[in-house]
A and B are shown apart, each in its own frame.
Chain A
């Protein structure tokens, strides 16, 4: 059966591939998950230089309302900045910021097919032998992101560059404002954490880095040998303190019920050692604790935003409810744990 987006997508791509003819889109299907963008895979077929061609592609389209509001250009440019580097990313093809073609802004990228992303798959038992390899690759790649020069990558043109001493204040203000805007009920635990964070600021960032913003188990593609083939979901990418990404991965909810294993993979000390080797940076324990607690607050703001999008009617998809029901209380418990109260 033809998906209604297929002919519209084909018509759009025809405008971007003037040398191609007989452009057709088929096998379009929505990929589960993805509460911040609608993600579809599809096959593109066309003729060029007299020969038939085809390619598997990904469409990432803004939904009517999202659990996080981000600029798709930032995500697109972050992917492009790391193309061909030690940070594996899918190839970006076209960015469309207008809404006339597919009702909402979107971008199209090459599909990295044949790999897995789901933590449930990674921790199903079949990958146990390669979990140390996944951990090594996961924090090595994050170290490469931290080590990169955002100015040399040109990302300062699409992302504000805060002063090193202002990174924490900018991020905390941003996510506190989202909590203020979106909370549907009082959040005493998150509010207590915010007061602590303000009273105990971290030292200035040791360098200004690209921050992926959602670097965790579940947002990279892995294979049966434990190799990582693509880092996904850059929609919260920004410039800031490199410890921010490390702290997001240490948010206890991302242990996926495997206590004591960061990202469900290895002990914290091991993850830090891998990251420090790859990045050439140091993870000051006090600063990392601050960024870990901050990321628990950030997580809570995201889950609260998910609930708000449903409550206000902007997006009534069940994917907006699931993060809120699954994670709001777990995130509160994570805050308690990081603060030493649980």
Chain B
């Protein structure tokens, strides 16, 4: 998710500390805590599957793009950086497939993009 979860959790920690002291207006404290709770809940929801989904997606993208390689560094930040590199290459590949009229490749790319939104889908998704 963007912004990435660790940076958000870090900010929420500070926000909770600020709201733990007296003097914060009630309505503002309620708003801050309510939103923080929702973000914490979403963080919890994506935690377990985050690495699995990135590895699976990176593998699918490499296959689609005809690239070799694998994810050796399993930190989420490294997996995410590789994912962004591959998705940038996917954009280029899709532009080329559109220009050349390669319908099979276009279909395969759309299928992967559809799958990518399934991997990222949250329980509160509106679509």
Interface on A for B, CB 8 Å cutoff? 1, 3, 29-32, 184-186, 188-189, 191-192, 195, 252-253, 255-257, 304, 307, 310-311, 316, 318-319, 321-322, 324-334, 336-337, 341-342
Contact = CB atoms under 8 A, between A and B. Distances in A.
A318 B28 contact: no
Task: Give the size category of B's interface with A.
Answer: 35 or more
Given A186-B88, A310-B3, A325-B42, A192 B122 contact: no
B38 A330 contact: no
B36 A318 contact: yes
Contacts of A316: 11, 15
A195 B2 contact: no
Nearest to A4: B25
B46 to A, nearest CB: 9
Contact of B126 (A184, A188, A327, A341): A327
A33 to B, nearest CB: 8
Given A29-B27, A307-B2, A333 B127 contact: yes
B117 A336 contact: yes
B88 A329 contact: no
B94 to A, nearest CB: 6
A29 B25 contact: yes
B120 interface: yes
Most chain A beta-carbon neighbours within 10 Å: one of B25, B34, B122: B25
Given A257-B126, A324-B1, A342 B114 contact: yes
B34 to A, nearest CB: 7
B86 to A, nearest CB: 9
A336 B114 CA distance: 7
Nearest to A296: B127
Contacts of A192: 91, 94, 113
A333 B122 CA distance: 12
Contacts of B52: none
B87 interface: yes
The 5 closest A-B pairs by CB, nearest first: A29-B27, A318-B35, A333-B127, A186-B87, A329-B120
Q: Give the secondary structure class of A's interface.
A: helix
Contacts of B114: 336, 341-342
A195 B98 contact: yes
B7 A341 contact: no
Contacts of A310: 3, 7-8, 11
Contacts of A341: 110, 113-114
B95 to A, nearest CB: 7
B100 interface: no
30 contacts: A1-B23, A32-B31, A184-B3, A185-B2, A185-B87, A186-B88, A192-B91, A252-B126, A255-B126, A257-B126, A307-B2, A311-B2, A311-B7, A316-B15, A318-B11, A321-B3, A325-B42, A328-B2, A329-B125, A330-B126, A331-B127, A332-B116, A332-B117, A333-B127, A336-B114, A336-B117, A341-B113, A341-B114, A342-B114, A342-B117
Contact of B34 (A32, A186, A325): A32
Contact of B84 (A186, A195, A329): A186
B51 to A, nearest CB: 17
Contacts of B36: 318
A328 B124 CA distance: 12
A121 to B, nearest CB: 15
A195 B96 CA distance: 12
Interface in B36-77: 36, 38-39, 42
B32 interface: yes
A328 B122 CA distance: 11
Interface in B68-114: 84, 87-88, 90-91, 94-95, 98, 109-110, 113-114
